[in-house]
Amino acid sequence: MKKVIFSSLFALLLLVGISASTQVSAQNLDDATIEVVDLNIDETATKEGAATISGSVASRSAEVDQEIKEKIDKDITEAKGEQTNKLVAYMDQNPPGPITWNNFMQHAMRQAVSGGVQPNVLVLLLLFPLVVTMIAASRHIVGLRGFGVYIPAVLSIALASTGVVEGLILFLAIAATAVVAKKLVRKTHLPYLPRTALMLWTVSLGIFGLMVLAPYINLVTLMSVSIFPILILVLLAENFLDAQARTKQSEALMLTLETLGLAVIASFFLRWEPLQIFAVSEPELLIIVVAFLNALIGKFVGLRLSERLRFRSIIEE
């Protein structure tokens, strides 16, 4: 009888132990399942967050690329821009007739382009004398001064490449850096040539800093600026410093503003599409008109417009 009772108790304890073990295992399994689910949720959320950030970066990069492409398309100095493609398309759609004295340049331009010469370079070479003539007239007839004829003319091509706003921002940055560098370098008491080289070193670092900051201050169009217009703007800044050394600061500032004004106006002419098409369609007429205008300007011997305004009271008397 005792054996039966002990056997029954042992069997009961065994069943209770198995049941408890089963419950603990089930609980552990549920906890493990919950942890796996939580890990999966966290991993999914991390992937979604990374995908969102990646998508945002890709979207911003696409916007920047689009803005740079639009800037290049408007740039007459770019060989792969839309403006150059328009010039090539116009040449293809409007072939000249049989070669004569009044279309030999049209034939020469098309032969050069078919041989690999960029049409925008030819157009700029034809329009550059027109720009110089306009600047010469503004000095000889109107009375504006500026830094000669060459500096505003070359600067106009730089502004046509960078864009007026971006070019002016670059110039202001270069001029400000040059002024600060001049004051710092003056304290070194170096000879002229090493002092000038050290100033250009400072200006180069200033431009480098501006280009590095361009993506962060949303100056997207500065990212595609080539070295050529930057060097021209550095040249203008050097002229500004030389004028400061020779004359009053107000006089140097006025000369710089007049130079920039002439260059801005000339850059609009260079970027004006109808004028570019005219240079392609009638290059012979363009060079004749420019030569005639220069001869006409040279015949002017009266008072300049600025002098008439300045001495108006005396003239009226």
What are 69-120's pLDDT values in tens digits? 666 656 667 767 677 778 888 888 888 888 888 888 889 989 998 888 888 8
State the average pLDDT over residues 6-15: 43
pLDDT of residue 288: 94
Output phi, psi for 156, to 5 deg.
Answer: -65, -35
Nearest Cα neighbor of 267 from 173, 152, 108 is 152
Please indicate whether residue 134 or residue 165 has the higher confidence score (pLDDT). Answer: 134
The answer, yes or no, to whether residue 216 has pLDDT greater than 60, is yes
- Exposure of 293 by Cβ count < 10 A (0-12 exposed, 13-18 middle, 19+ buried)? middle
Please indicate whether residue 18 or residue 65 has the higher confidence score (pLDDT). Answer: 65
| Separation CA 289–CA 137 (nearest Å) | 14
What are 58-76's pLDDT values in tens digits? 565 666 566 666 666 566 6
Residue 241: partners with Cβ closer than 8 Å, 6 or more residues away: 178, 179, 182, 199
pLDDT of residue 285: 93
- Give the lowest-confidence range in 39-48, 88-97, 181-190, 247-256: 39-48
pLDDT of residue 286: 93
Per-residue pLDDT band at 194 (split at 50, 70, 90): confident
pLDDT of residue 16: 42
Per-residue pLDDT band at 317 (split at 50, 70, 90): low
> CB–CB of 286/128 below 8 Å?
no
State the average pLDDT over residues 264-273: 90
Per-residue pLDDT band at 37 (split at 50, 70, 90): very low
Per-residue pLDDT band at 133 (split at 50, 70, 90): very high
